[in-house]
Chains A and B, each alone.
Chain A
């Protein structure tokens, strides 16, 4: 599985929010890698910075945000310093993205078919006819029935699930190396959510594209991803294989997430919660950002930021001062 050069190598990524003359780090020293054909899940609550990472990869950070430090190497090329023209080439062709809200992510005054054909014609020198044919094929591939008729539909004539399929078709049109899906199912009905994730898995198998699935929903991601990166308040809490995360993780935050998810699933009488709230970036504490909510916090946690360090095989890393202790103690939450 290891190759000469990882497809994506993000190292020490730091993104700052510049507002009113102040600079606040929204994403702090995040590092991770992806190889070709990987399925990486990025899990975190809102405010964890997970979406910002994807926007940074695409070069689509809003004006108020800036990449302060770190590097993004895609196929060996440094993206953080790439020219806007180069980024435009990469976007949609080598790295593409599926967004959360399909209702507003599609342009309401153009047909869905034309919006997919558009990305084909932007990056490849093909005729309108050929683009249309390929669009029909893409619609078929993402499971839209009667594709020849559907390509002339406008977004408002389609259901939410179908719109998201169009978004996926649009993202896969130019056969990118990396597909980023940022909360692709959050705005959809529960039954449709499963369908879309299944579709993503199927397409990933067929085309071999690397997929980064971002979500707050840990079980959903676990269904799909091989590796999971858990984020909290702009920093990585833990990264490991999916089964490891579920079965043997001892990181207090991860365990908290799992407990919440399982409580929901098992229909517990009283849903377990993680007490407290995610701190706002302005109020990030000096030490571990989870300390105030952590049942196992000690004095050291408040003062010193825990660094990501290996705690298991297969690249299992975690950031917690007490994680080795907790492993041996095997405390259940």
Chain B
């Protein structure tokens, strides 16, 4: 299995390289004078020239590409003149917020999603199935920002159970953190939960019809064992793929949800970057997202091989 992990790690490197180059190229495509834009709308001509020098924007592009790539290996994602700090620093500062949000929402989506899907499959065509799938359908159809606003209206303002926004660090107050993250995580995770539960249902149904399930029953194993161990373990393999895909939804949704709940995370950073045309932030941020994406896919692949012995021994 270790060989498999190594292989996957190695194959991730060219992808990371490609993504880095793509990020570089993307910014070159922006119309207008890059130095002027980066310096900001109210920069003087001198300041613009300063920026041009500093960023080496007057140098030929192969050298600039090299600078960029070399900078990356040191963790240097560029400098934002609008924020007046290195992009890397800005990102790291906001990372805990986004990680909390994304992490909790994925846990919610996975646990609820698989549970609903399995229930729907086991109680195929009963009212349990109907309710579970209706919930899933609603989850997939509701716009997350609207859901968040409605949730704030009802649970934060109306009932006062949760704060209407803002982040509380878990080191400050663990319960405060959970309370602050509850509504945002729920909002962000709903769409993924819907997707995962729909898929889990069809996968479980397929597995329950397989021969090995009949064998397990023929051995006199309990229903819990047959469904929860035998069938579920096989079902989790394709479900894992969908969980991996739902990371996409989660990352995209995070931008929206952070905005709705006034959470100072990576998403909000990107949003402000768009609104203020802060290209270094956008470039660095996009790259960071792409990197984490590649890494998450890698993780999913490794988990895959852990679950499915047939992949391991290839």
Q: Mark A71-113, 1 if CB is under 8 A from B, else 0.
A: 0000000000000000111111100110101001111111000
- B-side binding surface: helix, strand, loop or mixed? helix
Q: A131-170: which residues lie under 8 A (CB-CB) from chain B? A: 154, 156-157, 167, 170
Distance between Cα atoms of A108 and B212 in the complex (Å): 8
Partner pick for A109 among B215, B218, B225, B234, CB 8 A cutoff? B234
- Residues of B within 8 Å of A156, CB to CB, are 309-310, 313
Interface pair B211/A118, CB less than 8 Å apart: no
Asked whether any CB of chain A lies closer than 8 Å to the CB of B230, the reply is yes
Using known A-B contacts A60-B218, A91-B220, A119-B220, determine if residue A109 contacts B210 with beta carbons closer than 8 Å: no
Closest chain A residue to B236, Cβ basis? A109
Q: Is the CB of A105 within 8 A of B212?
A: yes
Provide the residues of chain A in CB contact with B272, threshold 8 Å.
none
A99 touches B220 (CB 8 A): no
Query: Hey, which chain A residues are within 8 Å of B215, CB to CB?
Result: 99, 105-107, 167, 170
A104-B210, A105-B211 are contacts. A97–B218 as well, Cβ < 8 Å? yes
Choose from B218, B222, B234, B237 the contact partner of A107 (Cβ within 8 Å).
Answer: B234
Is A27 in the interface zone, CB < 8 Å from B? Answer: no
Is A58 interfacial (CB-CB < 8 Å)? Answer: yes
Q: B192 to nearest A CB, angstroms?
A: 25
The number of residues on chain B lying at the interface, defined by a beta carbon within 8 Å of a beta carbon of chain A, is 22
Cβ of A123 < 8 Å from any Cβ of B?
Answer: yes
Contact A99 B217 (CB under 8 A): no
| Residues from chain A with Cβ under 8 Å of B210 in the complex | 104
Contact A58 B307 (CB under 8 A): no
Q: Considering only CB atoms, which chain A residue lies closest to B222 in the complex?
A: A88
Q: Please determine whether A108 and B220 come into contact, CB atoms closer than 8 angstroms.
A: no
Of A89, A101, A154, A170, the residue contacting B211 (CB under 8 A) is: A101
Which residues of A280-309 are within 8 A (CB) of B? none
Interface residue A330 (Cβ < 8 Å from any Cβ of B): no
A108–B230 alpha-carbon span in the complex (Å)? 9
Query: Count the A-B residue pairs with Cβ separation under 8 angstroms: how many?
Result: 75
| Contact (A107, B219) CB under 8 Å given A154-B310, A156-B310 | no
A122 within 8 A of B: yes
B310 engages A60 (CB within 8 Å): no
B216 at the interface (CB under 8 A from A): yes
Q: Give the shortest distance, in Å, between A88 (CB) and chain B (any CB).
A: 5
Minimum CB distance partner of A84 in chain B: B223
Most buried by A among B216, B219, B308: B219
- For the complex, give the distance between the alpha carbons of A122 and B221 in Å: 7
Closest to B310 in A: A156
Residues of B within 8 A of A88 (CB): 220-222
User: Quick one: which of B195-220 are within 8 Å of A by CB?
Assistant: 210-212, 214-220
Interface residues of B in 7-24 (CB under 8 A from A): none
Whether B222 pairs with A91 at a CB distance below 8 angstroms is: no
Residues of B within 8 A of A58 (CB): 218
For the complex formed, measure the closest distance between the CB of A308 and the CB atoms of chain B, giving whole angstroms.
29
Return chain B residues, CB-CB under 8 Å to A118.
219, 221
Residue numbers in A under 8 Å from B313 (CB-CB): 154, 156-157
A315 to B158, CA, bound (A): 82
A104 touches B220 (CB 8 A): no
> B233 contacts the other chain (Cβ, under 8 Å)?
yes
Best-surrounded residue of A93, A105, A106 (most CB of chain B within 10 A): A105
Assembled-state Cα–Cα distance A90/B219 (Å): 9
The minimal Cβ–Cβ distance linking B167 to chain A, given in whole angstroms, is 40
Known: A92-B219, A118-B221. Is A109-B214 also a contact (CB below 8 A)? no
Q: A92-B220, A93-B220 are in contact. List 15 more A-B contacts (CB 8 A).
A: A87-B220, A88-B220, A88-B221, A89-B220, A92-B218, A101-B211, A105-B214, A107-B212, A108-B234, A110-B233, A119-B219, A122-B219, A122-B221, A154-B309, A156-B313
B interface list, Cβ under 8 A from A: 210-212, 214-222, 225, 230, 233-234, 237, 307-310, 313
Q: 9 tightest CB-CB pairs across the interface, nearest first?
A: A92-B220, A91-B220, A104-B211, A92-B219, A107-B212, A119-B219, A154-B309, A105-B215, A97-B218
List A residues at the B interface (Cβ < 8 Å): 58, 60, 87-93, 96-97, 99, 101, 104-110, 118-119, 122-123, 154, 156-157, 167, 170
